[in-house]
Chains A and B, each alone.
Chain A
Amino acid sequence: MKTISLQINGKKHQVEVEPEEPLLYILREEFQLSGAKFGCGLQQCAACLVLVDNSAQYTCVSPCENFEGKTIETIEGLRKGDKLHPIQKAFIEVQAAQCGYCLNGMIISAVALLRENPNPTEEEIKASLHKVICRCGTHSRFVKAVKNVSGYR
């Protein structure tokens, strides 16, 4: 066991954990942040994405200690006060979900993309969502939702 410090959604936390435990389980169990999901545990489906220093990263394999000193943002942290993030609004507007299991991966990928590139082309949007598995086939709505917020930083 080791004490590690993690900065999550703007707050610093100290947790006593096995340093090799992947971040996903720490988020879900220690912090009750269950937005990031287990899909494969193999870095193949992107259900487990969070923002790490603004880029979308898998959390299902990488040990939690690798995230020390970095800024972690989860889907729960996107809403500021009672203001939803524009991507969240767009997903609601477009009703971009069926079962919704993939939504975390889709939303985190989209936010990471728009932070880096506020005006992505359709190809760039598709490419950024490509890593996320969606078995329900909601892809066209996800692309549409992201298109609707393009231009937003």
Chain B
Amino acid sequence: MKNFKLPLTNRRSFLKTSGHLLIGFNLFPLSFCSTKETEELKNLYHGIPERPHKGREIIDSWIRLDAEGYVTILTGKQELGQGIRTALMQIAAEELDVPFEKCRIINGDTGQTANEGYTAGSNSVEGSGSAIRQAAAEARLFLLKEVGKEWNISIENLKVKDGIILGPEGKKKTFWEILNGKYLEENITGEAEFKSPDRHQIIGKPYQRAEILDMVQGKPHFVHDLRFPDMLHARVVHPPSYGSKLKSLDTSSIMEISGVEHVIVDGSFVAVVAKREYQAIKAWEKIRAISEWEKSLIKISPKVLFEDMKRNSAAPQQVEKHLDINSAIDKSAKTLKSTYTKPYHMHGSTGPGCSISLWKDDQLTVWSPTQGVYPLQNTLSDLFGLKKEQIRCIGMPGSGCYGHNSADDVSAESALIAKQVPGKHIRLQWMRDSEHQWEPYGSAMQIALEAGIDQEGKITAWKTQIWSDTHSTRPNGKAGHYISARHLENAFEFQKGGFSGGSYRNAAPLYTIPDRELLLHNYEGPLRTSALRGLGAYGNIFALESFMDELAKAAEIDPFEFRIKNLNNPRAIEVIQSLKLKSNWENRDQSRDVGYGLAFAQYKNSASYYAVLAEIHKSEQEGKFRLHKLTGVIDSGQCINPDGLKNQTEGGMIQSASWTILEAVQYDENGITSKDWSSYPILRTNNVPEVEVHIINRPEEKPLGAGEAAQGPVAAAIVNALSSILGRRIYDLPLREYFS
């Protein structure tokens, strides 16, 4: 647990060291540690004292050097399993010239860190990374200047190694000696220069993630593992379907269950609080069995969903306008038209949402797996009418979320319950079916494409039409975005909004096409939707890159060549060319038992470049196939941690393969029927393809977000490979029926 410290309000141990008051943050019980470990823990670094954030423009808000010889980095971003902690520590260590091992990091906590919004859209390294980089460079410059003054030497004559400033005649002084416990409250001026990439020793090297050492030993790490001495366990009984209302519940029979302390009924918000977790679950089961609900039906069945989208969407928003795209297309030598669909997808986190809240003396503290502690604070302030200063949100690792899953809902619910049971830590964990049925899904989408090509195979005109529900209903300040806030007696209203942006992400082709039009039809669909990894980019790239394959075929040009021919972006071209080499395309198996599919995209047309080749084999089962291999090449500009980048990209590839081959949220008029892993199967080890990732590192370029780069291209690559082996085009996801 070397770098895992938690701010704690009720069990502080104060230590005095060289003028610094330190707070011991170790929350987790020691009862099962071996003696040796207990010893180790005693000698542990105790972390920096809690100190409220003082504004983005001062160094101290990002970097703190303490009297014990450590560097603590503060980020408003959350660790979601993407390895951001390690990458940000690498950046700080590099610019400060301190050993990586001396760095610690604190993630989002409204009591301590900057407001960096949500950890989303693959922008943590671009955003938080550059702020930390700047602060580190400024800190280093400030320390050099201090020593320069003291020694009366110009800073050009000073060197820094491992946090030690070296001067002439063997003079030295460490950063920590210079500061002597003082905070770096200087402003970030922009004066400090960054190290040139050719001098980098930490950035660009694979560093291990410290938390993996804890996780392989089963040490407490997740919000799920937090324990407080007086803690009670809660469960929420969600309505059987969207909009259903509670008719009756005999709470006295629930109170009889042993261990049950409270049953909370507020409108259709129903929760139970018990001493032990299992007692809460038993009460939850009983409530489900005896409560009566006025059911609300889902009116648009999956069968008519795509028709309904076309019929009942708003008038199209012209994202890219063209005066007469249809005639531009008609003028082309060859024209093509296709429509693609993708169903609703689930985040489907392995562990259900969990959070802990404490309501005490009009102060609310929430330990949450949210992607944004400040937006959570804002929204809780709306929900409870509290001032923001009365709410502290502390970000904790959860099970991987991949976007807006249950994390915010569960946080609001634990707070709603805590308000009724003041003074106690309330731990709420969702049950599996709540997670499957109540999380907001990635919207179903329909994409119609039309294009024309000339004699040489250049694309001349292109028209995109998208039908989609919103890809963002994150509760950024509006309590009505919490499902349970809508179920209260005094219900908060849900105003959808958040249309557009996410829906047409990556819909505009990066290809050089002179005439183009992009229309977005916003649709209010039957299911709850929000941000899922990549937002609309997954559906849009699936369609766009499937269509590129169709166009290449119509032009009778090799799919690699066809894409290159229609691009003028050198980095895009290089990623595709590099994939062609790495995958040994020229010597591929040309037998009829193997199918290949290529796809490419630059995520958001502004982040990482990524190309992928899917290889599909005929399976032993007649008429069925297996996804054998995915080979990807990624250019994320300057690569901070190559192994971290690979890991995240591999994960994205496998997850996207799962979405593409297997997944579709099932529902009928009575509600969501995908309620567990057998009614919503995802890819498991036997069916996972081999994955290979190559990185094009560009140390001289700025780092680009990478976490979502693979989602869309992998879908198109698999569909292209399948279509090639089948000899006919597939337009609709998922592909379950074709795979063994």
Contact = CB atoms under 8 A, between A and B. Distances in A.
Nearest to A108: B218
Contacts of B208: 92, 95
A41 B648 CA distance: 28
B448 to A, nearest CB: 30
A39 B678 contact: no
B492 interface: no
B141 interface: no
Given A92-B212, A100-B81, A135 B402 contact: yes
A100 B212 contact: yes
A15 interface: no
B676 interface: yes
Give the secondary structure class of B's interface.
loop
B227 interface: yes
Interface in A4-45: 18, 21-22, 25, 28-29, 31-42, 44-45
Contact of B650 (A99, A133, A137): A137
Interface string B95-121: 000000000000000000000000000
A137 B630 CA distance: 13
A32 B33 CA distance: 10
Contacts of A130: 684-686
A28 B399 contact: no
Nearest to B217: A79
Contacts of A41: 281, 431-432
B652 interface: yes
B522 interface: no
B699 interface: no
A22 B655 contact: no
Interface string A34-59: 11111111101101000000000000
Contact of B36 (A82, A84, A96, A138): A82
Contacts of A131: 684
Best-surrounded residue of B212, B652, B678 (most CB of chain A within 10 A): B212
Nearest to B690: A140
A141 interface: yes
A8 B643 CA distance: 36
Contact of A133 (B281, B643, B684): B684
Contacts of B682: 133, 135
Contacts of B402: 135
Contacts of B218: 33-36, 74-76, 104
B691 interface: yes
Interface residues of B, number: 68
A78 B221 CA distance: 17
B429 interface: yes
B224 A25 contact: no
Contacts of A129: 685
Contacts of B227: 32, 34
Contacts of B83: 98
Contacts of A28: 277
A107 interface: yes
A103 B651 CA distance: 14
A132 B32 CA distance: 26
Nearest to A139: B688
B350 interface: yes
B676 A40 contact: yes
A40 B677 contact: yes
A147 interface: no
B400 interface: yes
Nearest to B651: A137
Contacts of A76: 32, 217-219
A82 B217 CA distance: 11
Contact of B677 (A44, A82, A87): A44
B399 A101 contact: yes
A136 B352 contact: no
Contacts of A82: 36
Interface residues of A, number: 61
A42 B676 contact: yes
B216 A140 contact: no
A45 B677 contact: yes
A18 B220 CA distance: 25
A130 B493 CA distance: 43
A39 B277 contact: no
Interface string B203-225: 00000110111011111111011
B712 interface: no
Contact of A18 (B80, B278, B678): B278
A135 B212 contact: no
B703 interface: no
B80 A99 contact: yes
Interface string B674-718: 001110001111101011000000000000000000000000000
Contacts of B676: 40, 42, 44
Given A44-B677, A137-B654, A39 B32 contact: no
Best-surrounded residue of A101, A126, A129 (most CB of chain B within 10 A): A101
Given A99-B397, A126-B685, A143-B685, A31 B32 contact: yes
Contacts of B658: 137
A38 B429 contact: yes
Contacts of B222: 37, 101
Given A76-B217, A99-B80, A99-B398, A33 B32 contact: yes
B217 A88 contact: yes
B677 A133 contact: yes
A88 B653 CA distance: 25
Contacts of B724: none
A132 B685 contact: yes
B327 interface: no
13 contacts: A33-B32, A38-B351, A44-B676, A45-B677, A82-B36, A97-B216, A99-B81, A100-B211, A126-B686, A127-B685, A136-B81, A136-B350, A140-B690
Interface of A: 18, 21-22, 25, 28-29, 31-42, 44-45, 47, 74-76, 78-79, 81-82, 84, 87-88, 91-92, 95-104, 107, 126-127, 129-143
For the complex of A and B, list the 4 residue pairs with the smallest distance between their C-beta atoms, beginning with the closest. A35-B218, A137-B654, A99-B81, A99-B400
Interface of B: 28-29, 31-32, 34, 36, 80-83, 208-209, 211-213, 215-222, 224-225, 227, 258, 276-278, 281, 347-352, 397-400, 402, 429, 431-432, 643-644, 647-648, 650-655, 657-658, 676-678, 682-686, 688, 690-691
Given A100-B212, A136-B400, 13 more contacts: A31-B32, A33-B218, A39-B350, A39-B351, A41-B432, A42-B432, A75-B218, A95-B208, A95-B212, A100-B221, A127-B686, A138-B647, A143-B685
